[in-house]
Amino acid sequence: MIDLINITIKKAHDSLVKGEYTAVELARAYLDQIKKFDKDIHAYLSVFDDAIEQAKKADEIIKSGKAGMLTGIPIAVKDNILIKDKIATSASKILENYVATYDATVIEKLKNEGVVFLGKTNMDEFAMGGSTENSAYGPTKNPHDLERVPGGSSGGSAASIAGNMALVALGSDTGGSIRQPASFCGIVGLKPTYGAVSRYGVMAMGSSLDQIGPFGKTVEDAEILFDVIKGQDKMDSTSIERPKLKVESKKLKIGVPRDFLKIGGIDKDIIINFEESLEKLKKLDHEIVDIELPNLKYSLAVYYVIVPAEVSSNMARYDGMRYGKRVSGSTGIEDYFLSRQAGLGREVKRRIILGTYVLSSGYYDAYYNKANIVREIIKEDYKKAFKKVDVIATPTAPNVAFKIGEKIDDPLQMYLEDIFTVPINLAGVPAISIPSGTKKIGAKDLPMGIQFIADYGREDKLFFIGKNFLGEL
């Protein structure tokens, strides 16, 4: 029996190389787990029928002695990332049965490593949402409590790991879509520096904020995956090559924006857990200092002007004319309206309408331009802070996972779930969510997370502090 609960990339790699089990046996163990549990969790939108064939090829590489760290490692992929010849719906009816014609750059890199792709995971439609309830194919449930959400929009990827149905996974993060599900599901999730990972082949939501990143049960697993997918790509002009840096000191200065923690709406148990986490960091010989990020309070307002504006532009291509769902009317323009009406969900329509409004004549300067000006001010806040501290710490989310259906009809409540995560995307800096404890509700232990934020290109500091916090060093 393969221990899927405690397995890591390194453990799996060592076992595969030693011949303790094969890549086929490892893939089969995960496929059995999916078959057994995913009917209740619904982490996957599709499970690949060629997973065993992929594993056989990985076994050949292992036998030849050319195996890399990821050869034969089973991975789940969010359904907005393209894998050639596989269906990619972005959890939307308008892309029902759309088959990708090329690989995303991150997929190409992983194929070169010989990974085994298990399937595509559920998400909020076109990554718009924080609970995976906005999927056109039904919600994903949290493996820790099937009555609760796994977070979003990468909820399927997070749930696949928490439910032991994948070893690692890929998600995308525009305003917290990797970190918040990681917190809700009790796993590790990294939002890299903007531009660190190519976005070529990911369906764009907010182009100036989107970033692909890894999920894992350990910080080391997230780091191994990140090191493979990162790097400059000629197909993405926003991607950059950064040198691999190493933490200079084992004692870090950790900044805490105390004023920002007093904004209200934060579960008192989240605050207690956060303070306990800070005490733990002090015992690990790190210095905790109070810092000011005075303009962070404007982040949500800025984010929900910029994102809908970019959504309204990016969503124009989904018209039912070239691919995906098409509904015929009496005229060409009617086809367009009917296809979008039938093919797009409520949250997507809401953001398109908001975005079209803020970009319209007379409102562009009042909203969109002003939001971009404030965004630059928020970036400056982080720049000043990182001159004084190595990393910044906050809770990842203001609450533990909420019940399915609890907030779906209140967009403002749902948007407030992003309060700690969206400023990072606006600034373009990297951040990681690390499991920090649990809150008992009834018979269930619901995970909580702490978020560490670093300066541009300093993922090394996040990996160090995360490993230190979890006892991985």
Catalytic annotation, residues: 78, 153, 177
* Euclidean distance between CA atoms 247 and 254, whole angstroms: 14
* Euclidean distance between CA atoms 241 and 340, whole angstroms: 38
* Token output for 223: 């780091």
Region at 117 (left for phi over 0; alpha for psi -120 to 50; beta for the rest): beta
CA quadruple 355, 357, 363, 365: dihedral, nearest 10? 10
* Euclidean distance between CA atoms 136 and 125, whole angstroms: 7
Q: Yes or no: say if 99 and 119 are a contact pair by the CB < 8 Å rule.
A: no
Q: What is the edge-to-edge ordering of all strands in the sheet holding 444-454?
A: 44-47, 116-121, 74-78, 168-173, 211-216, 188-191, 431-441, 444-454, 391-395, 253-256, 287-290
Closest CA to 380 of 444, 313, 293: 293
Residue 292: in which H helix or E strand, if any? Answer: none
* Token output for 350: 């809401």
Q: Yes or no: say if 190 and 227 are a contact pair by the CB < 8 Å rule.
A: no
- Cα–Cα distances (Å) from 41 to 30, 99, 121, 134, 165, in that order, read 14, 25, 11, 15, 10
Q: Yes or no: say if 214 and 170 are a contact pair by the CB < 8 Å rule.
A: yes
- Cα–Cα distances (Å) from 440 to 182, 217, 434, 435, in that order, read 18, 21, 18, 15
- For residue 78, give every residue at least 6 positions away whose Cβ sits within 8 Å of its Cβ, in sequence order, or none: 120, 121, 123, 154, 156, 157, 169, 170, 171, 172
Residue with tokens 């000043």: 384
